[in-house]
Structure 1
Amino acid sequence: MAELRVPALVLAAGGGSRLGGRPKALLPYRGRPLLEHALATARAGGCAGAVAVLGAAAAEVRARVRAADDCRLVDNPDWPTGMASSLLAGLAALPPGTTAALVLLVDTPGVTPEAVRRLLAAHTGPADLAAAAYAGRRAHPVLIGAAHFPFLRATATGDAGARRLLASRPVALVDCTDAAVPDDLDTPADLPRWGIA
């Protein structure tokens, strides 16, 4: 059987419009930018490198974020059109031999390496489609096998991202209720919970 290769695809392009225009990738979390935290989570969970898609304040993010050698930072000039453009930019930048991508949102600091490990453990081949579940509710991260990439490229638009794919195919749910928290950072009211000023 061919070796399974799953890089993280970290979506980090958002401008944080509901956060007063603070790019989420640069929010300070535990002494480092939130994007660094997401990349470290993916690495500690066992991902084979990462592709991080930047958008808002991309030049500043590149200047302030330390990324490992196996992490590729990709600019998405179309980021204001929605998450789908970032997903497509990330897919185009995945390394050869990728059997699946672990899609991780930069604004979910409660996702842990253990949740990443559990999703990777569910990967057996390029036809896989899996998502972390919390008390039975599907959330992030999501593992998308390479066999689904063509459908994703054909259907991802606006802010829907992979929604059409996930709605049209069986998705294996991987319970992460005891391992992570899927909540995202969207508004100033969310920041104190994560210790972000």
Structure 2
Amino acid sequence: MTTAGVLLAAGAGTRFAAPEHKLLSVLDGRTVVSRSLEALLEADFDAVAIVTGAVEVSAAVSDLTDSSQDAVTLLHNERWDSGIASSLLCATDWAAGSGHDAIVVGLGDQPFVPTSAWNAVASSAAPIAVATYDGLRGNPVRLSREVWPLLERGGDEGARTLIRRLPELVLPVACEGRPDDIDTVEDLRRWN
């Protein structure tokens, strides 16, 4: 069984009122998205992809070592502005075409999710596994191939609708770290 790690980084980040996109903003000397991607790359995945859209993040990938750059597949979501569901479908289409049995999906604007959280969620055998932090659900989320056809085809909820609709398939996985995201300039200032 093969599992791929996927970072969703396609949104416009409209709540981040600054000249640069939130993913390319600097957090403690590095871009937000490169911090998120580094934790994903250090996890035990058979492949890693990042779904892009509104902003070009390849420069953030080039911040990583040469060997890590080769390990990342860039997937451009042409329909990024239709919501996160289209990015998730982009990821599952790629994973299906690459022969993966499951994907573990996280968000590019969550730089405090550690490698240990990615690995903990990936190690689950449940059809849907959801990271929890102090009992609250967050990212990343593991989705096995069997649930991919059940995902929403549009909208801005990703896997949340599926998780609510089929709770019997969901396994919470306690994780270390923080699921805080960088959505606003104030969020960035709080962590810098």
Give the TM interval when normalised to the shorter protein: 0.7 to 0.9
* Corresponding residue of 1:175: 174
After superposition, what is the alpha-carbon deviation per residue over 1:90-138, rounded to whole angstroms, capped at 9, x for unaligned?
A: 222225221110101001111001111111222x3xx621011112111
Counterpart pick for 1:15 among 12, 19, 24 = 12
Which runs of structure 2 are paired with 1:177-192 in the superposition (5 Å)? 179-192=176-189
Aligned residues: 183
Q: For the residues of structure 2 that align with 1:116 and 1:166, how far apart are their CA atoms?
A: 18
CA contact (8 A) 2:50 2:74 kept: yes
* Corresponding residue of 1:68: 69
Distance 1:30 1:156, change over 3 A: farther
Structure-1-length-normalised TM-score: 0.85
Q: For the residues of structure 2 that align with 1:180 and 1:101, how far apart are their CA atoms?
A: 20
CA contact (8 A) 1:84 1:161 kept: yes
* Corresponding residue of 1:139: 138
Tell me if 1:119 matches 2:116.
Answer: no
Amino acid in the other structure paired with 2:120: R
Counterpart pick for 1:100 among 99, 102, 108 = 102
Counterpart pick for 1:47 among 45, 48, 65 = 45
Amino acid in the other structure paired with 2:48: A
Amino acid in the other structure paired with 2:16: L
CA contact (8 A) 2:61 2:69 kept: no
Identity %: 34
- 2:121 match: secondary structure: helix
* Corresponding residue of 1:37: 35
Q: For the residues of structure 2 that align with 1:75 and 1:55, how far apart are their CA atoms?
A: 6
Amino acid in the other structure paired with 1:71: V
Amino acid in the other structure paired with 1:36: S
Counterpart pick for 1:160 among 134, 157, 167 = 157
* Corresponding residue of 2:24: 26
Tell me if 1:129 matches 2:131.
Answer: no
Q: For the residues of structure 2 that align with 1:70 and 1:187, how far apart are their CA atoms?
A: 30
Alignment RMSD, CA only? 1.8
